[in-house]
Amino acid sequence: MNAIRTTCAYCGVGCGISAVPTGERTVAITGDATHPANFGRLCSKGTHLGETVGLEGRLLHPMIGEERVDWDEALNLVAGRFAQTIRNHGPDSVAFYVSGQLLTEDYYVANKLMKGFIGSGNIDTNSRLCMSSAVAAHNRAFGEDVVPCSYADLEEADLILLVGSNTAWCHPVIWQRIEAAREARGAKLVVIDPRRTETAERADLHVALRPDGDVALFNGLLAAMRDRGGFDAAYIAQHVDMPEDFIASLAIDLPGIGIDAAAFDALADMVAATPRMVTLFSQGANQSSSGTDKGNAIINLHLATGRIGRAGMGPFSITGQPNAMGGREVGGLANMLAAHMGFSDAECAAAQDFWQSPTIARAPGLKAVDLFRAVHEGKVKALWIMATNPAVSMPDAGFVREALARCDFVVASEVIAETDSARFAHVRLPALGWGEKDGTVTNSERIVSRQRALLAAPGDVRADWDIVSDVARRMGFGAGFGYRRAADIFREYCAQTGFRNDGARMLDLSQWAGISDADYDGWAPWQWGGVSPFASGRFSTPDGRARIVAVDAPAAPAADPAFPFRLNTGRYRDQWHTMTRTGLSPKLSRHRREPLVEVHAHDAARLGLTEGSIARVATLQGESRYRVSLSDGQRPGELFVPIHWTDTLSSGGRTGRLPAPVTDPVSGQPAFKNTAASIEPFESDWRGFMVSAEPVAIAIDCYWTRARGEHGWLTELVGQGAIDIDALLPHGQRIEAQDGARGTIRVAVRDDDGRLRAALFLTRSGLLPSRDWILGQLGAPEGASGSELLAGRSADPAPDNGPTLCVCFDVGMFAITRAIREQSLTSVETVGAAIRAGTNCGSCRPAISRLIAQTAKEDACVNA
């Protein structure tokens, strides 16, 4: 079969993929060597996409409650309830909450229906939680939401500042391009992050600032540049609008930044000495109560020094989701109308004339946090959620669940049947997923690429744009929604970007308004705005000048003795958001099997928290439980937890419960990374784990988390008091061993063929076997002996390879350290040559590099 070119399902790097279907539900994935975003590279998540295209857990039919229905019945109900609610309570009583994981065509149709035909601004997207501060900063500075850089700038820079970005884990292919460029031209890398991440470990300088110290830091850098004569007076005079007292107002406030003078001076020296500088920023900047100001502080530094619009220079906001950019472009944020237009009278008229619509939204709608508040208050009575899981991913998610539970009518368009959010839906609509859907996405550098169908649509599923259009027709808006295929929508969207544009907006795709179906199908990646949109020095403001926006550092949060820690939340390398897809991959599940709370050793000692124990983390909003990981990469007084675990996968790691619904005053983006919190030991007297062929429902109150294995599931368990083993274990032939002194119980359950179906290991004070061997015995036809199963290891054990770092070649951490020691390996390359680790997707290369350094350090100590 011929390879089909498409783009990755996951992050905003937007890597091209070359996919070959190998069966009904299987595909072979490689990087597309011709795609300009990745030139053939892929990270661990992209590489293992093939493990997630099966039908496990899929929503395959429209459902009303628990009843399977046909499309007519489901869509008549949706259209009827929305129309009725609008008739009785007005257009603002309904809302859509959509996602950067929709295609541009899906997004365009949803936006058109809400803003042009229903006539409300109430469509917001999970990009509110992700990009909206960067959007607001761009609009303030440039007059339009235009990203000024391209990935090539990272390769042409001499200095790269990463602000609040764990690039090695979250944008791994950008990271690989940065690493290659550092090697090629010796570019210096600075990481600005309160935590020492794997990204920070690889930096020339790690600036471990205090949470939300960024505005103070960039204002301080501006002051330092002023003092060193680093402002570009000619550039400012020609292209920048700068407040009169801006220069004089700048000062260096070290306590506000939270670093010492030596660290600040080291950074200021690098910045002053290196004009070719790119500042790349993501969630450590955006997800903050000062997120928009952070964006503008960064942009201010680039404008004042003229470091923008030239090769290797610029402020570069990178996007999270595969189509965060496409959503911004069509106008999927509640505060934008369409195609980079706002709500002026002229823009409203332009959109309405273009759509030939009966009405038009005249004002911005509710932003995500306000939207769910309005649902909770009963003001929004019908809500349609598409391609996002707000019951997990919104701040104060407990409140969001209450809002969903109270809402008169909730619709969810999903690919997965049982998500934490879909459980609240009255109607579930099955949508095409990655590999089935067909349309366009825009990546972080404005490249529009195609996602193409590789697999036939399973069950009754339909494209998101098709579902929305059908509902629009049933609401009586037939004329506006007669699309037959995605290309029809793309042509219309391209035409809209040019309609009454007259050069006012850089987003202008009107050259593609007449593209043929065949050319759309053959579409090659194309970048709007060009490599450097501001090369001419002209910006999208009325006078063409960029704006320096004076911003003040936020005050430090008031101390709260009940919640003395600052809680930071973020991502793991191999999991994607709420794990509805990556959680299905055994390989991706290996890197981090449980949600950890990272805490500094001094704090842990003070509070009686030990490595591997369970802790309860609480905020004013709620509490969650995590496995403790001591980390000197964590600043004292600060905690880090991952965002991925849901109620489907754990009893307590659901982080969405914790963050306060505090938002940036300009963008409305939640401040996910800085919430007052407390931490304490979770009292327990037993711990253990279970492997099972089927996922097991855990009905007792304990800590549990579940991870995917090759042939089943691994469930970790920690709790107190009695435990009803019979309730946990499936039926079958049981063998058992007990050790009263240590309070250890070991049980294995086999089926009639002798295959292992489940095994349980619990102990009060003893040791537990390693998880991998016994997990590997599930479903094995030539079963291990009973005594081996109860021991949890083979009679002839292979060396323990430790937690998997390289998921591509399945190489564990201990195996890598052994190779480093035994073969005296000193570089990531030689490790790769010796044991292959790190030679495919490259996502584990930072971890290998860290192991080399750590091993050298340990050996030096031993030898000293």
- Closer residue to ligand SF4 (CB): 43 or 146: 43
**Least Cβ distance, residue 212 to ligand MGD (angstroms):** 4
* Distance (Å, whole) CA 696 – CA 464: 33
Task: Work out the number of other CB atoms within 10 angstroms of the CB of residue 2.
Answer: 7
Which of 424, 576, 645, 773 is close enough to bind ligand MGD by CB under 6 A?
576
Count of positions on this chain that bind ligand SF4 (CB under 6 A) = 14
Choose the stretch contacting ligand MGD; rule: CB under 6 A; options: 375-383, 386-394, 521-529, 691-699.
386-394
The distance of Cα 414 from the centroid of its chain, to the nearest Å, equals 18
Count of positions on this chain that bind ligand MGD (CB under 6 A) = 59
Residue 495, both tokens:
């035409």
Between β-strands 675-681 and 638-642, what pairing exists: parallel, antiparallel or unpaired? unpaired
The 300-329 contact track toward Mo ion, x by CB under 5 A, reads --------------------x---------
At 687, is the secondary structure helix, strand, or coil?
Answer: strand
7 beta partners: 16
| Measured CA distances, 840 to 47, 61, 174, 806 (Å) | 9, 38, 16, 9
* Distance (Å, whole) CA 213 – CA 192: 10
Q: Is 683 exposed, middle or buried (0-12, 13-18, 19+ CB in 10 A)?
A: exposed
The 86-115 contact track toward ligand MGD, x by CB under 6 A, reads -------------x-x--------------
Who's near 77: CB < 8 A, 6+ residues apart? Answer: 64, 427
8 binds, among ligand MGD, Mo ion, ligand SF4, none (CB under 5 to 8 A by kind): ligand SF4
- Residue 250 in contact with Mo ion, rule: CB under 5 A: no
211 binds, among ligand SF4, ligand MGD, Mo ion, none (CB under 5 to 8 A by kind): ligand MGD
Residue 628 CB-half CA count within 13 A:
24
**Least Cβ distance, residue 503 to ligand SF4 (angstroms):** 33
Choose the stretch contacting ligand SF4; rule: CB under 6 A; options: 9-17, 413-421, 555-563, 578-586.
9-17
Residue 833 CB-half CA count within 13 A:
8
- Residue 219 in contact with ligand MGD, rule: CB under 6 A: no
Residue 400, both tokens:
């969001």
569 beta partners: 641
Choose the stretch contacting ligand SF4; rule: CB under 6 A; options: 13-21, 536-544, 546-554, 653-661.
13-21
- Closer residue to ligand SF4 (CB): 101 or 497: 101
- Residue 75 in contact with ligand MGD, rule: CB under 6 A: no
Who's near 261: CB < 8 A, 6+ residues apart? Answer: 254
* Distance (Å, whole) CA 18 – CA 21: 10
Choose the stretch contacting ligand MGD; rule: CB under 6 A; options: 413-421, 529-537, 551-559, 715-723.
413-421
Residue 222, both tokens:
């501006």
Residue 82, both tokens:
């929305």
In the chain, what are the helix, strand and coil shares in percent, each to the nearest 5? Answer: 35, 20, 45
| Measured CA distances, 443 to 52, 189, 322 (Å) | 22, 23, 6
- Residue 777 in contact with ligand MGD, rule: CB under 6 A: no
- Closer residue to ligand SF4 (CB): 178 or 207: 178
- Residue 380 in contact with ligand SF4, rule: CB under 6 A: no
| Closest residue by Cα to residue 385 from 371, 396, 395, 373 | 371
**Least Cβ distance, residue 543 to Mo ion (angstroms):** 33
Which of 19, 27, 29, 42 is close enough to bind ligand SF4 by CB under 6 A?
42
- Closer residue to ligand MGD (CB): 93 or 292: 292
The 161-190 contact track toward ligand SF4, x by CB under 6 A, reads ----------xxx-----------------
- Residue 321 in contact with ligand MGD, rule: CB under 6 A: yes
| Residues at the contact surface with ligand MGD, assessed by CB under 6 A | 11, 99, 101, 126, 129-130, 163-166, 169-170, 192-195, 197, 211-212, 214, 282-284, 287-288, 320-321, 386-390, 392-393, 413-416, 419, 431, 433, 437, 464, 568-571, 573, 575-578, 580, 643, 655-656, 659, 672-673
| List of residues contacting ligand SF4 (CB under 6 A) | 8, 10-11, 13-15, 38, 42-43, 45-46, 171-173
